Structure 1
Amino acid sequence: MPRVDRRPRRSAAVNLPGTALLGAVLALTAACSEAGPASSAPSSAPAAVASAAVAYGLPADLTPMLLPATGPDTRLTQGLDGFASLVRDRATRACLSAAGVRMPDAPPAMFIRLFEIPDLDHISRNGFSPTAVPGAAPSGPAPSDAAGPADSAVQRRCGAEGDAAAGSLHSLYGPLQNRWLTGLAAVEKEAPVVAARQQLPGCLAGRAIRADGEQSFFDQVDRALQTAGTPDAARTEDLRLGAAYAACMQPVEAQREPLRAALRAGFVREHEGELDAARKALPQRVAELERRYSVRFGVPAEG
């Protein structure tokens, strides 16, 4: 299972290089069975990626989905990126199937949470484990044993087809959303946020967790879940650590959320034309991709 992401976020599920798609899929598969590079959620060899409770359909207001500022907003953003990842998966599988090539075992398309904007309510109840986007498995029967291995040319071609399918959606919102998320770094420099962060180690210590900040905390999450002896033990530890993180980060989020809201209001004014174009184009493109690949747009929901 992938590890906790400490990096500025652009979801690997959306931005995999086209010509290396299947290599990346295989790398992700390996990361689920051993300690691989950081990607998005704590790793735990015994645990499996869970199914998510999902609310289907685009929200009425697309602005929070495109420019998230709160934890609940990020569920919409996860849905958008997860849908692009699902489209890539379906397009790649269709290409490989047409070539008579078996799709290698791989993790499903997943909802990838945003490190910059933690969804504390969700984390407090569910921990850090990732959830799969419904519909990620191929809709048709599994390839037969006669399906052959893919050569590099087929991999490149099918990877490019998958990227093109996902890119037809991501191109409508990705550049704008990237600028928004990159700009959130300014919030971290505000004095109230800095002061609230200074209380994090003490709060965690009160819950028997020694960490001098988020980086150190997530390192401990990785270690704890990888060394858990059973799936049940990993799940118990995941929930304990998630509840502690959510409680101790609440003062930080209380300072950051109004700052993000003010920042978003200014961003919307400055990028009104680009934002309006994305809001108009997305529903039609999503509907087109749903029809083409027999998938549905959904966002994580509290179950």
Structure 2
Amino acid sequence: MPRVHRPSRRSTASHPAAAGLLCAVLALTAGCSAADPGPAAPSAPSAVSAPPPAAAPAAVAYGLPPDLTPVLLPASGPDTRLTQGLDGFTSLVRERATRACLDAARVRVPDAPPPMFIRQFEIPDLAHIARHGFSASTVPDTTAPAPAATSADPAVQRRCDQEGAKAAGDLQSGYGPLQSRWFSGLAAVEQDAAVLAARRGLPDCLSAQGVRADSEQHFFDQVDRTLQGAATDQAASAEDRRLGAAYATCMQPVEAAREPLRAALRESFVREHAAELAQVRDALPGRIAELERRYSIRFAAPTED
């Protein structure tokens, strides 16, 4: 799955549990190219935390909001839906640019998962997770199907992938540095006394929901093993929603402590970076509109509406 690298944010490469969870949830939708660690026994079902009824796929809203601050500097779960939209659009630009290059050379497009909305684990969208679990959803794509290719050429495929990466990198360079500094600053929130106190209640709450985990990291390990070990896609989806509901319930006190801290931090960040933020706000809408026209795509973000 192509995605622009943002070094200051939590990456799946440096957090193995997050990588495993991402692979597991992608397996529910589009597959995962990471090595399969092999099946593991799912956690025992809980009478306390039965899976909620299956929910309809999350809706999307098209177009940028008037204020780009929450898109660039998310401080709450709902804000991250807009950030996912920007990340997803950047991934879609990469995919479209790569495909355009391959189509021009009449070279077959390699199989790969489609661009997807990827969650920010630093700022969990608890309302969305409670309803949909951890499974990712694909970015809407309005491009017409490409003509049939005549051959496979690894050298051309590599060149075209580089072109796609450059197109995405050019877009991301306009907002990534500012956003990276914002995410880097969020680490201080985790050391606040109220946040640490709220986290201490997480194991007992998860236990009451039928999940044995002594930390958030351990919980994600459990999710990974459970989804990878599910016997069927239907069973995996049910467990995904059950575990998502448990996580959303038990992380509420943590998020209640973190959200006002992030909001205050964002106010000071906006003041300190006012000039740079104004430049991004002025330039980004036009750049996105240009890419929408070039690749026949639209900016979209997940929404609960």
Q: What do you get for the CA RMSD once the two structures are aligned?
A: 2.2
Deviating more after overlay: 158-167 vs 123-132: 158-167
**Tell me, which stretches of 5 or more residues in structure 1 are unaligned?**
3-11, 17-34
Give the distance between the partners of 2:57 and 2:177, measured in 1 at CA: 29
Match of 2:4 among 14, 17, 31: 14
| Secondary structure at the counterpart of residue 203 of structure 1 | helix
Higher relative contact order, structure no. (Cα contacts within 8 Å, ≥ 6 residues apart): 2
Structure 1 residue 124, shift from structure 2 partner: 0.3
Q: Which residue of 2 aligns with 1:93?
A: 99
Give me the identity figure in percent. 63
Is this contact kept in 2: 1:56–1:299, CA < 8 A? yes
Is this contact kept in 2: 1:125–1:243, CA < 8 A? yes
Q: Which residue of 1 aligns with 2:120?
A: 114
Q: Which residue of 2 aligns with 1:217?
A: 219
Is this contact kept in 2: 1:228–1:234, CA < 8 A? yes
1:143 aligns with 2:144: no
Q: Which residue of 1 aligns with 2:43?
A: none
Match of 1:249 among 236, 248, 251: 251
TM-score by length of 2: 0.84
Is this contact kept in 1: 2:26–2:135, CA < 8 A? no
Deviating more after overlay: 258-267 vs 41-50: 41-50
Is this contact kept in 1: 2:107–2:153, CA < 8 A? yes
TM-score by length of 1: 0.84
Q: Which residue of 2 aligns with 1:180?
A: 182
Deviating more after overlay: 167-176 vs 266-275: 167-176
Tell me which amino acid in the other structure corresponds to 2:99: R
Residues 232-243 of structure 1 aligned to structure 2 (within 5 Å)? 232-243=234-245
> How many residue pairs were aligned?
271
Is this contact kept in 2: 1:58–1:283, CA < 8 A? yes
Distance change in 2, residues 1:205/1:36 (3 Å): closer
Give the distance between the partners of 1:39 and 1:65, measured in 2 at CA: 27
Is this contact kept in 1: 2:85–2:299, CA < 8 A? yes
Give the distance between the partners of 1:253 and 1:36, measured in 2 at CA: 21
Is this contact kept in 2: 1:91–1:162, CA < 8 A? yes
**Tell me, which stretches of 5 or more residues in structure 2 are unaligned?**
7-15, 31-55
Distance change in 2, residues 1:37/1:98 (3 Å): farther
Give the distance between the partners of 1:274 and 1:168, measured in 2 at CA: 17
